[in-house]
Structure 1
């Protein structure tokens, strides 16, 4: 399915959610409105897609629809479907049994999601699987093949486990979504191993019995036979009736992590309601963890832990239920979809494979979900609406490719808005301005000139950041000067010492307001951000106001990526604890700095008009002006949060060439070797081409360097800071004698990440370990976002 089709589905969901607010219906109204479901299922039966079905819909804490249709069995005997029919729920086992079992052990501290599986099952490490984590298995990003080899005869649980442990990955962990039964076979073994209890017994004792799911279990007893819906004839011509349909699960004896559970609609409703309400089986925190996006940040699908959220397998969500909902399907024809936003769940159980495997419930699932969403006036609470938007919105997306579509915007920057307001905020004020060549209005006029000629505004001073007021100096020696056009003095706030980077309060005391108009790069170690912090501090001390004329984050406001900088490591490339890619504008950052650092300056942000968080710079309609000499286009700006991480080490990143930050090299690097190593890592969004170049500036100026050209192939799926860790890891592994890894710390500013690099940990696992810190930062960041 294409990213565009996902975008269309997202748009439909977004429009629909806006319509979900209406008075709650009565029970009779619910039943009347849902009567449309009868004809949908009857049509599916008449079209021989399914022999029969049980459909149960829950809404707002009660069952609002529960009916049986058609036949439970067509062969070898015919019997009618009943609402208490027991079904082989196939892959629903993954979320009904395996995922809750693993999450219980996580809650108990016996398993950590980011731990490698080999920590618990050492024999799993065969064939290069040492870096696959528990999270990778749960999200289907392990890189393992879809299923065990069934081409030759084998039986037995131990044999199945041995085959799973001995499987060979088809891709590195964290790089590709491959729906794999092997993942959940291994997870069942993990529950066996860690709990010390057989997997089926564990699930019965800790999940099914506590929830009152009296007709849910592996290997159903003979007395249940008459209630069980048969599936299809096996390879020996025997009808599978009470015996698991999945061949791998059947070969291991009927108990497996990916399939094998039998259940009823009523029992699954108990689980669904428990997931909506919380229960003693799993805490609300564990449920939230399971059912919100947990896939790698660069992934173009949304997967929870076990649960599906938005992927090619999400057809049973229908067209109208929002993407913040979650669910799963089973091959036999079963499905469960739960929407916490509107407290609704849909359980459709069929044996579509009966009697000869030719039926299908795929289209039926989608039609049912769409009809339910259309029939019930689904009301979303404000809290749940916020949760939904945080997962799905264009404004605040979870780094999923299909959620960020191109937009042709027409953004007015802060200076344009100020002009449209006739400079009312600055009338009668003595003003200084911190700006450079990026401070331009929509007509191409310098902010300096606009303010100098603004009626009632007295512009007395210009302050220039790194690279000077014209943005052409790539040196720490940037002195004071005078603006040629206005003859206003220009004071540099950049130099080789901390004192040179701050303006003394006595100079600022002659002003009423400092205005800031700078184009940021959206990266923590870009020094304009620290300059903002310093001016807030100075403004507070001098008792003057600070006004930020806001501009877009060029690499978008919807991605938050990379390790957090640690407290106590503040310097000019790290004003405070912020991730490498923060997804904020300078105005938003200023608000956060002012509050979180207890500066309490008199801060005003003149917000842009027309900018959305999902906008990259090419969606704004604004001209590109180089924010600094070596960020010359959006491609370089996109790569900068990653390649810039290693710039402080002994490599060239292309400064002094025509393509800075698109190159990485050194005289001691073998370009072919490095390109081959990095391409084998299958890093999302980039490829590497061997290249030689001679930089004219910075590291190795005038020397022939060998290395790689970094080709940006898909910016939406690139985690640029993780790319930086991949580069550092590759250089440390391939050139341990030549590469000075220790020099990364000034910009990295994170000891745990540095230690992991020195210990040779897999970059994917390193990145997983900083995700919890990122989530905490996102909660903090939310308070200061202007554009929502």
Structure 2
């Protein structure tokens, strides 16, 4: 039986499944029209080179309602098309389909107890602090074990791998946090064998796949099926996962092969409360328990028993708590999502590793789930009337989570990720917590952490200087400060001697040309060949992380003010950009992002409750940072943008500008969210320092309607149109970043027309960006 209070809770929730069948209804014409867009999504990913093809099924408890089979099974001299019965290496779908299901069956039979220590069934496991690890914690990935065995020290046979898993040490105390781990399910697969007396292969066939008539699913597929198998990078019929391969192709974490229709039958069993076609595989309370969080709700990632918890497949699912549906994916490009709330399931099977190992199915999976959800209206009252068990979760979890930056999350966890390490900190004074305490000081006082060096970006650690900065010493803290904006802009080998890890914590401002992003990338590049972990403590994008604007940077214009081809307003956090740089440029750094908690992408900085600390000398306010991505487009030319005044980026001028004329022209362009008036000022620094300038003053009226890049391009065009002999248009190329846009402005093209031309590139960036988002 499932144990104690959790069993009672699951049994109560099990009643929910009784009402699901009544919800099953044929898809509407509108849903079918929406789903018909699936082939176009798959074809777009094929043309992008991210996968060779995919089989997609959408269904409910009564059967498959929609299917699409697009692309090729194998690329050869004559390509072989995918077919509906193609078999795929299911990879980590092995975990929930066979291992978790088997463990729950054995628990129902009283042959093992979920809340008993694993060592009760496998005595060798009880070493190195694992004595208290329970079966439930293995199922929920909260055991404290690391993700997997290091490739360079991975044993080469089954017995040695099991011995290595038994000898593992815990990375964190059991039950406290989620760490998705193959080791958890290797151990569970072995438990199934020890408790049942059957091999995992035989158990799955006799107790799960056979009764469900999943005729094509199993370990070690027969040679007769080889012509239907979609290859990865290894021999056909051989599991892709190297650990499962070393274990003879049968393991608790990977090794299954199967078809889309077989997965549909499994999903229908779950939607049926544990039975299909009169054959009961699991009790209703066991199926309900799969959907319950097995970890304190304060954790960022929720896990059920063998499954990741998901928001239901309803419109607006991004705003719903991740509870109500379950899902799992596989490394080879597979995925299965089951939603009892809407009585829907989705199967996506691909073989992204064929033929070159460079594919990526994540964008397709996200797009298909969004498509299915968009066709199912979200009506809270009607859903909760049918599934009242969701009420406490959605009432409690719909409340805003207290916002925490990466450093605050790290501190709340006792700095465990850094304990025992000698670290170098790349930071400046903008890195503070909600109480205004410097990350530098928090790390210096962190127990078990040794801060041995500081690295400062442009403007120095105090973020108040211009020009090159020499390395030096923080005399108050007796720490060396290595300047990354002086003799070098990259950490040198000498600077990294004696360090075990690097920590990056700097407030970005959301614009492509802010140089802290290049410093971040250079840190990743310096750390990668040395195997140094880089911890990026994430911070909010102060000008919202849900919007992208402006022309993309041309590839041949990359520089320190433009490390990567981004739009002017990139709509990403520092942690997300680190992931993007590391992935798209194949840096290969050991990157570990400490994500924020309670962050919403549509938040402005002042909604987080953090104090604004100027990240550089001329961004003293959030208003200045909001104007910066637009006004800075002309900064490289012969104008002052207000540096050296009390309104940097809120003023623009030059001795040769007529402020009335420029303001009048700009106000005629219908620039939303901002008003413009003539002004005179004398900057203390920058172009025309000490000279009287005429120009304009900008006032933000509605920052949500304000289009930063549109303002910048109209500023550029207005200055060139009014002063073609004075304004140095060519000098704006570095900030605008696009030769085509610059040429269009020179020829008098309307900026709004130019914006239409860069939309395809912006959409492509948005698709790439989606792979690296954390929130």
Scaled by the length of structure 1, what TM-score is found?
A: 0.50
Tell me the secondary structure at the aligned position of residue 674 of structure 1. Answer: helix
| Alpha-carbon separation, structure 1, partners of 2:372 and 2:638 | 45
Tell me the secondary structure at the aligned position of residue 416 of structure 2. Answer: coil
| Alpha-carbon separation, structure 1, partners of 2:376 and 2:569 | 20
Tell me by how many angstroms 1:689 deviates: 0.5
Q: What is aligned with 1:236?
A: none
| Alpha-carbon separation, structure 2, partners of 1:447 and 1:390 | 42
Q: What is aligned with 1:146?
A: none
Q: For 1:138-160, what per-residue CA distance to the aligned partner results, in whole angstroms no more than 9, with x for missing partners?
A: xxxxxxxxxxxxxxxxxxxxxxx
* Contact 2:316–2:374 (CA under 8 A) maintained in structure 1: no
Tell me by how many angstroms 1:510 deviates: 2.1
Q: What is aligned with 2:603?
A: 615
Q: For 1:170-201, what per-residue CA distance to the aligned partner results, in whole angstroms no more than 9, with x for missing partners?
A: xxxxxxxxxxxxxxxxxxxxxxxxxxxxxxxx
Say yes or no: does 1:681 pair with 2:665. Answer: no
1:298-697 equivalent positions in 2, closer than 5 A = 383=367, 385-387=369-371, 410-473=402-465, 475-495=466-486, 500-697=488-685
Q: What is aligned with 2:215?
A: none
1:630–1:385 CA distance, 2 compared to 1 (3 A)? same
Tell me by how many angstroms 1:482 deviates: 1.2
Cα RMSD (Å) of the superposition? 2.9
Tell me the secondary structure at the aligned position of residue 498 of structure 2. Answer: coil
Q: For 1:246-283, what per-residue CA distance to the aligned partner results, in whole angstroms no more than 9, with x for missing partners?
A: xxxxxxxxxxxxxxxxxxxxxxxxxxxxxxxxxxxxxx
Tell me by how many angstroms 1:444 deviates: 2.3
1:25–1:471 CA distance, 2 compared to 1 (3 A)? closer
* Contact 2:30–2:375 (CA under 8 A) maintained in structure 1: no
Q: What is aligned with 2:182?
A: none
Q: For 1:639-695, what per-residue CA distance to the aligned partner results, in whole angstroms no more than 9, with x for missing partners?
A: 111001111111110001100001111111111110110000001221210111111
Tell me the secondary structure at the aligned position of residue 525 of structure 1. Answer: coil
* Contact 2:472–2:481 (CA under 8 A) maintained in structure 1: yes
Q: What is aligned with 1:745?
A: 733
Unaligned runs of 5+ residues in structure 1 are 1-18, 31-56, 63-320, 325-375, 394-406
1:758–1:740 CA distance, 2 compared to 1 (3 A)? same
* Contact 2:23–2:343 (CA under 8 A) maintained in structure 1: no
Tell me by how many angstroms 1:435 deviates: 0.6
Scaled by the length of structure 2, what TM-score is found?
A: 0.51
| Alpha-carbon separation, structure 2, partners of 1:756 and 1:768 | 12
1:682–1:448 CA distance, 2 compared to 1 (3 A)? same
* Contact 1:505–1:541 (CA under 8 A) maintained in structure 2: no
| Alpha-carbon separation, structure 2, partners of 1:541 and 1:60 | 50
Tell me by how many angstroms 1:484 deviates: 2.8
* Contact 1:580–1:641 (CA under 8 A) maintained in structure 2: yes
* Contact 1:427–1:456 (CA under 8 A) maintained in structure 2: yes
1:726–1:390 CA distance, 2 compared to 1 (3 A)? farther
Tell me the secondary structure at the aligned position of residue 568 of structure 1. Answer: helix
1:607–1:377 CA distance, 2 compared to 1 (3 A)? closer
1:623–1:380 CA distance, 2 compared to 1 (3 A)? farther
1:682–1:603 CA distance, 2 compared to 1 (3 A)? same
| Alpha-carbon separation, structure 1, partners of 2:467 and 2:739 | 27
| Alpha-carbon separation, structure 2, partners of 1:767 and 1:391 | 31
* Contact 2:507–2:539 (CA under 8 A) maintained in structure 1: yes
* Contact 1:461–1:489 (CA under 8 A) maintained in structure 2: yes
1:720-731 equivalent positions in 2, closer than 5 A = 720-731=708-719
Tell me by how many angstroms 1:22 deviates: 5.5
* Contact 1:437–1:625 (CA under 8 A) maintained in structure 2: yes
* Contact 1:430–1:511 (CA under 8 A) maintained in structure 2: yes
Q: What is aligned with 1:144?
A: none
1:441–1:26 CA distance, 2 compared to 1 (3 A)? closer
Greater than 3 Å deviation, 4+ residue runs: 21-27, 57-62, 321-324, 376-385, 387-393, 407-410
Tell me the secondary structure at the aligned position of residue 503 of structure 2. Answer: strand
1:783–1:323 CA distance, 2 compared to 1 (3 A)? closer
| Alpha-carbon separation, structure 1, partners of 2:493 and 2:479 | 19
| Alpha-carbon separation, structure 2, partners of 1:559 and 1:663 | 25
Unaligned runs of 5+ residues in structure 2 are 1-16, 34-313, 318-340, 347-365, 378-398
1:580–1:391 CA distance, 2 compared to 1 (3 A)? farther
Tell me by how many angstroms 1:569 deviates: 1.4
* Contact 1:461–1:491 (CA under 8 A) maintained in structure 2: yes
Q: What is aligned with 2:151?
A: none
The number of equivalent residue pairs is 416
Tell me the secondary structure at the aligned position of residue 415 of structure 1. Answer: helix
1:24–1:391 CA distance, 2 compared to 1 (3 A)? closer
| Alpha-carbon separation, structure 2, partners of 1:758 and 1:392 | 49
1:673–1:430 CA distance, 2 compared to 1 (3 A)? same
Q: What is aligned with 1:709?
A: 697
Tell me by how many angstroms 1:543 deviates: 2.4
| Alpha-carbon separation, structure 1, partners of 2:316 and 2:752 | 26
1:604–1:703 CA distance, 2 compared to 1 (3 A)? same
Tell me by how many angstroms 1:380 deviates: 8.9
1:408–1:633 CA distance, 2 compared to 1 (3 A)? farther
